[in-house]
Amino acid sequence: MITTDFLLLERLTTVDNVVIISNMKATQLICTRIIYSESAFAELVLWRLPTALDGSSHDFKYRLAYVVRGECVLRYDNETGKGDHRHFCGKESAYMFTTPEQLVADFHKDIERWNYENRNA
């Protein structure tokens, strides 16, 4: 069963022209949701691919999103041709991917930063 939160996350984090290659032999490494409060959650999805995506120098595909009150306020992802990048405070910037562990650490650090900067909102 698909939950409304999952559908919301898909709508907030998936661009219409993104294609999922279903015949690619990918290994899912992480697929988890972390509930921070009644109004905030993070979803982390990470795969190891047989080859690097166009625009990436590593063999991982990922999407890490932080959703607060129904709005995706932070996202790290890599799209074919676009490479590694993050969306933070309404701006997109390049992200220097090194390891999956560092990716998750950087994501959690940005969640803490967003929560601190928006603590009075």
Instruction: For residue range 39-53, list pLDDT tens digits in order.
Output: 999 999 999 999 988
Residues 39, 2: Cα–Cα separation, whole Å: 19
Alpha-carbon separation of residue 32 from 9, 10, 43, 96 (angstroms)? 13, 14, 6, 23
Domain assignment present for residue 116? The answer is: no
Domain assignment present for residue 100? The answer is: no
Domain assignment present for residue 45? The answer is: yes
Domain assignment present for residue 54? The answer is: yes
Domain assignment present for residue 102? The answer is: no
Q: Does the pLDDT of residue 121 top 80, yes or no?
A: no
> pLDDT by residue (tens digit) across 68-120?
999 999 999 998 888 999 999 889 999 999 999 999 999 999 999 999 999 87
Give 71 or 9, the one with higher predicted confidence: 71
Domain assignment present for residue 80? The answer is: yes
> pLDDT by residue (tens digit) across 12-29?
444 444 445 555 689 999
Residues 3, 24: Cα–Cα separation, whole Å: 26
Residues 32, 15: Cα–Cα separation, whole Å: 21
The range of the structural domain enclosing residue 30 comes to 4-15+24-95
Strand 60-68 vs strand 40-48: parallel, antiparallel, or unpaired? antiparallel
Domain assignment present for residue 78? The answer is: yes
**Positive or negative CA dihedral for 98, 34, 13, 47?**
positive
pLDDT at 3: 46
Query: Which pTM value belongs to this model?
Result: 0.77
Q: What is the number of domains present in the chain? A: 1
Domain assignment present for residue 103? The answer is: no
